[in-house]
Amino acid sequence: MLPQSAIVAFPQATESAATTDWTLTPKSFELLLKELHDNPDEAARRYVLVYGKLMRYFDWRGCKMPDSDADETMTRIARRIEQGAKITNFHGFMFGVAKMVAKEALRDQEKQQKTLIFLSKAEADHGCMYPEYLFERLEAGLLKLPPDGRRLLISYYATTDDNNIKLRRELAQREGISLNALRVRVHRLRDLLRAYIEADLDDDRQLDLTPGHDTVVRPALFAI
């Protein structure tokens, strides 16, 4: 049986892990703890320490969700252990995995930033007086989308240059749908995103948190 301190620290399922056939289980987590120490209590203590190091590492790298990235790192390590990997230097192995996770996370952040910039161009087109506020609402709305939908929307708008048609065709191929079907799916996601932002605006207006924002931000949403 796992010690209570270890159970509390059980890594949460992450989006990246959800895309594979492998799932972290209590047994695979126990194997991870044994890699740290044979004594369950000591293993749990060491787990908390290395988890804290991962959090600081991802924060230093500029990752927006260091806790999620730390969970993903430990999940990947647990999978490798269960698959038979022999780890002679746990810290070295851990930071090697963390480096890859950080690279992926920063790449995704860059894509999301490009998506937010593209979608928030409605501010300039409609003379929105509160671009920072709308940008914040766009970011919050993206986080409310289903993980698969968020990744799709971010990938679709990751580039707006001359290569975007080629990249979107490749995206449609990866999704196993036609380019027109991809456009329809993205359009629905944009409608859902707009609905989330509208709801946030209504909540802020009712709480009187953003006086004046509602009348100048809401028209810009029609161009999103």
Task: Average pLDDT across each block of 10 residues of the chain; the chain has 224 residues. List them in order.
Answer: 42 49 84 92 92 92 86 93 91 94 85 65 49 72 85 77 73 87 88 82 60 46 44
pLDDT, residue 80, reads 93
- What three-state secondary structure class fits 52? helix
Residue whose C-alpha is closest to residue 79's, from 43, 21, 16, 28: 28
pLDDT, residue 89, reads 93
Residue whose C-alpha is closest to residue 121's, from 164, 157, 169: 157
pLDDT, residue 183, reads 87
> CA–CA distance from 137 to each of 68, 157, 203 (Å)?
22, 17, 12
pLDDT, residue 11, reads 58
Q: Looking at residue 121, what DSSP letter applies?
A: T
pLDDT, residue 36, reads 92
Express each pLDDT in 57-79 by its tens digit.
Answer: 998 988 878 888 999 999 999 99
How far is residue 213 CA from its own chain's centroid? 28
Residue whose C-alpha is closest to residue 177's, from 165, 168, 166, 189: 168
Q: Residue 171 is which amino acid?
A: L
| Both structure tokens of 224 | 């999103």
pLDDT, residue 95, reads 93
| Both structure tokens of 100 | 């890859």
In sequence order, what are the residues at sequence separation of 6 or more whose Cβ sits closer than 8 angstroms to the Cβ of residue 114? 157, 158, 159, 160
Model pTM score: 0.54
pLDDT, residue 50, reads 93
| Both structure tokens of 86 | 């022999």
